[in-house]
Structure 1
């Protein structure tokens, strides 16, 4: 009897119907560990999902205790999953196929799904929500496994399978998932307040933005432009980086500060060795005002300890000494190669290395101070007329909101 049944599966498997996912199962990341404020985290995650999937209004969301079920309602599975995997707060994602609850149909669907996978080891896991079903979990597991073994190159491994076939079944429907797509992890953006990132256009600062976003912090960006010494291409590069970051945060503000007059004043009046330090101090003062005006709680930079002269401990102390706002440096202890690898992973690297210099790289000095003394820094700064120029710069800021165009840079 069993041999006849197995042969029938070999015949039927050649003419299988295409089964498509109707839902996407979303598993929580770190917010699973939250207690009384868990509801707020989940609410924010659903809001972020809706924002990221705004192009698909037909998609619906159902919150369960430790997961969110996303109902596609005809929305394209692959595009929805690709957008979802960039949303922070999600540990993993699985497309779910729904079918009738009879054993033959479930077996057929599982075989179809596994025929699309590369050869691997697998395990079938059934959860019967209704114990009145006319078959046991073990019987269904065996039916599915047998059909797959006969018709594919997959092998069973119940201890350390490379792929798990998960079946949740009640009297009416079965929900089947085989794929697990890694999510972005972390916390939902918005639960950790808001911070202002100094976005230079280089490799480091977009990666710093990603790290801060991943901790649930909404990011706004500020960029210091120095035309005509910096080009329109350099500004376009920064805008493109902001656009790329909207893959992780649905809306992002970029504030452009005209910085030419301030830079020229510093390099005319102060000692050349202190130019970079004084320029960075001015940037921090301006950034602090913009941050306060936009209800940001911290400033964020892509600084990396010891990478350049302005990023020694002594330099960073001198730069932030007269700024009251909290400074966050998420890349402080990383090696450059680690930062480059992460830039490639998040999709910013190729844009960051475009050969358009920002105001920090154009006004280079041959021998910048690496261990500045704060007293001397302040004396050098006193030679410059910066207060009025900083107020003028603050009055002439341009603000852009991204995404500005319907384009995907990833």
Structure 2
């Protein structure tokens, strides 16, 4: 049994107007092609009849792996294609079932149909199901089968498959525009960035270098994780690094319990200036409500006040376990979880409630805005990271 084609499904793209839908499908196809090339696949055919994309290739396994990196794909299945002929469909279904049904496991047949035919989807399920049951003496279980034969009839061609792989879902990469992501390389910020990628955003990863107040391991981790995450983009991830050592020095000596709030506001301000330079449309963070003291609702409001740009927090309602699960699924967790030491300027007690006037007064005393202008002009390093 040899699969000869991969059936690719998209979701919300189908809900768009016909003009927008065509644009998004073409964008999705171009990203599929780029992902295939990254896996060394150069020979294939790609077509997109209404509601589906079909990938014809001899490199099925490599192509399945390539599709797992493309946002906008809901699911995909390797198929065997046959003419829409009942006898041929039955014969192929029996051949597929031989490996799975010889041990007398339960099964189901799931059929859907597009076009005009002299049979219904239910007719097809009953006919194929009866032949499989008699051939292998197996039990039909429509609620919880051990094995399912899926049959998709599309006019004169039928696609038969048994496995459906979960895709990233969402929208094609980049169709919503750019965002600047505060990116440490830990567990949270890469996952938050990935969720914006699947919503059609193009992230610019902004890494804040702490200088002598940081650990070089963190810098290396951020670069490695960004490279891994870049596989989920067609052209790599823009990575920007700025030196916050002077700002950390000011905050350490003057902020006290307000250290975390003022530090994070400074990062927001820097991200806003980078956004203006790169024409990005917002700031992305890995914050989750109440996860740490600086992420109380009160403090998040104070953080938001530091910028006129929208702040996107995809992990707002996530707990740590949920975020870790996504990190593992994306292949980022092993690198992201590496210990890079604690923040050396973290105060013994972090304020969970902040007064905006008091915060602004401290920022003015430390000339935070002036420092940010200077470091962006003098220390910004840019590169594009690829796997």
Q: Give the TM-score, by structure 2 length.
A: 0.86
Residue 244 (structure 1) shift: 2.4
C-alpha distance after superposition, 1:94-141 (max 9, x if no partner): 112135777666544323322344734121648596869xx9999986
C-alpha distance after superposition, 1:332-391 (max 9, x if no partner): 122222222332233222222101137xx2321101222111111111112213344323
The 1-side partners of 2:46 and 2:252 are apart by 56
| Residue number in structure 1 paired with 2:108 | 122
Larger radius of gyration: 1
Matching of residue 402 in structure 1 with residue 360 in structure 2: no
RMSD: 3.0
1:293–1:79 Cα change, 3 Å: same
Say if 2:185 and 2:226, in contact at 8 Å, map to a contact too: no
Say if 1:124 and 1:145, in contact at 8 Å, map to a contact too: no
Q: Which residue of 41, 44, 47 corresponds with 1:56?
A: 41
Q: Identify the range of structure 1 (248-257 vs 296-305) with the bigger mean alpha-carbon deviation.
A: 248-257
| Residue number in structure 2 paired with 1:286 | 270
| Residue number in structure 2 paired with 1:372 | 354
| Residue number in structure 1 paired with 2:76 | 93
The 1-side partners of 2:216 and 2:183 are apart by 16
Matching of residue 110 in structure 1 with residue 93 in structure 2: yes
The 2-side partners of 1:267 and 1:142 are apart by 73
Q: Which residue of 176, 194, 203 corresponds with 2:187?
A: 203
| Residue number in structure 2 paired with 1:260 | 245
Map 1:147-296 to 2 at 5 A.
148-149=132-133, 152=136, 154-157=138-141, 163-166=148-151, 168=153, 175-250=159-234, 251-268=236-253, 270-296=254-280
| Residue number in structure 2 paired with 1:7 | none
Say if 1:286 and 1:390, in contact at 8 Å, map to a contact too: yes
Say if 2:173 and 2:233, in contact at 8 Å, map to a contact too: yes
Give structure 1 stretches of 5+ with no counterpart. 1-18, 406-410
The 1-side partners of 2:128 and 2:202 are apart by 45
Say if 2:247 and 2:368, in contact at 8 Å, map to a contact too: yes
1:70–1:309 Cα change, 3 Å: same
Q: Which residue of 365, 378, 382 corresponds with 1:383?
A: 365
The 2-side partners of 1:369 and 1:167 are apart by 59
| Residue number in structure 1 paired with 2:65 | 82
C-alpha distance after superposition, 1:303-334 (max 9, x if no partner): 11122121122222222313111111111122
Say if 1:276 and 1:368, in contact at 8 Å, map to a contact too: yes
The 1-side partners of 2:12 and 2:49 are apart by 16
SS at match of 2:283: strand
Q: When the two structures are aligned, how many residues end up with a matched partner?
A: 378
| Residue number in structure 1 paired with 2:300 | 316
1:333–1:112 Cα change, 3 Å: same
Residue 241 (structure 1) shift: 1.5
The 2-side partners of 1:70 and 1:393 are apart by 48
Give structure 2 stretches of 5+ with no counterpart. none
Matching of residue 346 in structure 1 with residue 330 in structure 2: yes
Residue 62 (structure 1) shift: 0.7
The 2-side partners of 1:29 and 1:366 are apart by 49
Residue 228 (structure 1) shift: 3.4
C-alpha distance after superposition, 1:225-275 (max 9, x if no partner): 12333333221211122122234323211111111121112222x232122
The 1-side partners of 2:78 and 2:283 are apart by 38
| Residue number in structure 2 paired with 1:16 | none
Q: Give the TM-score, by structure 1 length.
A: 0.82
The 1-side partners of 2:122 and 2:29 are apart by 36
Say if 1:185 and 1:214, in contact at 8 Å, map to a contact too: yes
The 1-side partners of 2:126 and 2:255 are apart by 79
SS at match of 1:246: helix
C-alpha distance after superposition, 1:2-43 (max 9, x if no partner): xxxxxxxxxxxxxxxxx3222111111122222242222212
1:342–1:128 Cα change, 3 Å: closer
Map 1:16-35 to 2 at 5 A.
19-35=1-17
The 1-side partners of 2:155 and 2:351 are apart by 71
1:121–1:374 Cα change, 3 Å: same
